[in-house]
Chain A
Amino acid sequence: MKSFTYEKVSSPAAAASAVVSNSNAKFIAGGTNLLDLMKLEIETPSHLIDVNGLGFDKIEPTSDGGLRIGALVRNTALAADARIRRDYGLLSRALLAGASGQLRNKATTAGNLLQRTRCPYFYDTNQPCNKRNPGSGCAAIGGVTRQHAVIGASDACIATHPSDMAIAMRALDATVQTARPDGSIRDIPIADLHRLPGDTPHIETTLTSGELITSVTLPKPVGGTHIYRKVRDRASYAFALVSVGAIVQRDGTGRVAVGGIAHKPWRVEAAEAEMPHGAKAVAAHLLEGASPTKENAFKLSLVERTLGAVLTEAKG
């Protein structure tokens, strides 16, 4: 690990001033992904700003019937919150499908959204990777691609976003609140937080330099049956090959977001009109324009079949 200086901040203003005065600084909260990447020298910050003392660790009701989740709320606490379990079961289920008990106790809501891809070529520092070393090329293209993206990828990068939680957040239409170093705050719809790789796969989100996520807000509950179905190589503690997060209403309408197939949570609102007509119709629309490799083409039928299982389960 490269050496770094460390400071703990206790106010957003102190965090802002720390990030402005250190050009190669990173915020650290749970640290479960960042420290892993620092050990491999994929992340090499020269200064760490510990934001655990900022107090963003509450889940509070909003004036319009939703919930505001502090950026520092741990994955375990979020999944176990009685209001989340009752009204946003999809979120609870997605969180519990990810990582291990130990990791969920540390990992935070904001950190989960900002975790980086688990593409093995991104992790192998002997390989070219446009995400790790812009302009160096992509070793995944033409490599072993069973896990990789089948839609929204580019000639520069075919990595997927690994988060389960983000799939639920996308289906629930969450909004991300941030604070910028100049003190300004803004709301970012979850759909606009993560970027597709294009020719700049190292730029993964729309956050600007030094911008800090402070909370994630869920709109008021929409009811329906909440299901998160994750298909993976082990029954537990593995990333998704494909995952489907869905909210299905009694009349068969609903929402669906898919994980494991793209550089961001994959949701096509227009495809949801097909939900009463079954999985095949939805998947056809959802996966329009997909360009899988020979090794991961199975993900296209796996999305359809997983969604089919989810819709059947929703009927009860």
Chain B
Amino acid sequence: MATVSFSVNGEVRALKLDTRTTLLDALREHLHLTGTKKGCDHGQCGACTVIVGGQRINSCLTLAVMHEGETVTTIEGLGTPEHMHPMQAAFVKHDGFQCGYCTPGQICSAVAVLDEIKAGIPSHVTGDLNAAPQLTNTELRERMSGNICRCGAYSNIAEAITEVAGRRA
């Protein structure tokens, strides 16, 4: 057993855990924040995506004990049904989901993607490595490739992200 303390959605949480507990299991099983989903549990599907220290990661491929003192944001921290985050509202508006299982991961990823583009981080499809990356559909699709949607809502997801990106710019 080990102890760890980190901030989740603005609240400091102290936990006593088996060292094997992933951040994903700590969030779901210990903190009962079940918005973050377990899909493949091997970093292949992106359903478990959360934002740690401002960066999106797969919460299934990291140990909870490795996050002492860090700041975690899950889908519950982005918005609530009454006060949705703009990205959540855009997913609803554009039908960016069908079954909804991958959606929390998609939304956390999408929020981080816009920050990554804003920070000038290039992607595989960025034409000129030395210029600021553009907010194109191709860029968004490439950057979202770590989030699988088996219902195939990709077009609507891309539209939702595009709308939020436009609003920001």
B56 & A101 in contact (Cβ 8 Å cutoff)? yes
- Known pairs A32-B43, A35-B63; A80 contacts B57 (CB<8 A): no
Q: A1-40, CB under 8 A of B: which get 1 and which 0?
A: 1011110100000000000000000001001100110010
Can you name the residue of chain B whose Cβ is closest to the Cβ of A3?
Answer: B20
In the assembled complex, which residues on chain B have CB atoms less than 8 Å from the CB atom of A235? 142, 145
> Which of A84-92, A251-259, A280-288 makes up part of the contact surface?
A84-92
Give every chain A residue within 8 A of B129 (Cβ-Cβ).
85-86, 89, 92-93
Given contact pairs A102-B46, A105-B56, a sample of 19 additional A-B residue pairs in the complex whose CB atoms are under 8 Å apart: A3-B18, A6-B63, A28-B66, A32-B62, A35-B22, A35-B61, A80-B120, A92-B122, A93-B124, A96-B122, A99-B146, A100-B147, A101-B56, A101-B113, A101-B145, A102-B57, A102-B58, A103-B58, A106-B62
Instruction: Output the least CB separation between A98 and chain B (Å).
Output: 9
The minimal Cβ–Cβ distance linking A108 to chain B, given in whole angstroms, is: 12
Q: How far is the CB of B56 from chain A (nearest CB, A)?
A: 5
Which one of A5, A96, A234 has the highest number of Cβ atoms from chain B below 10 Å of its Cβ? A96
Closest 8 pairs (CB-CB, A-B): A100-B146, A236-B145, A237-B145, A85-B129, A80-B121, A6-B19, A105-B55, A96-B124
Q: Would you call A100 and B66 a contact (CB within 8 A)?
A: no
- Assuming the A-B contacts A3-B20, A85-B129, A106-B57, are A50 and B43 also in contact, with contact meaning beta carbons closer than 8 angstroms in the complex? no
Quick one: given A101-B112, A101-B143, are A31 and B66 in contact (CB under 8 Å)?
Answer: yes
Count of interface residues, chain B, beta-carbon cutoff 8 Å: 40
The chain B residue sitting closest to A97, CB to CB, is: B124
A to B CB contacts below 8 Å, 14 in the list: A4-B19, A6-B2, A36-B61, A79-B122, A86-B129, A92-B129, A96-B126, A101-B112, A101-B116, A102-B43, A102-B109, A103-B58, A105-B57, A234-B145
B residues apposed to A, CB below 8 Å: 2, 18-20, 22, 41-43, 46, 49, 55-58, 61-63, 65-66, 68, 109, 112-113, 116, 119-124, 126, 129-130, 141-147
A-side interface residues, number (CB < 8 Å): 37
Contact between B66 and A96, CB atoms less than 8 A apart:
no
Q: Are B19 and A3 in contact (CB under 8 A)?
A: yes
* Residues of the B chain whose Cβ atoms lie less than 8 Å from the Cβ of A31: 61-63, 66
Most buried by B among A1, A52, A89, A101: A101
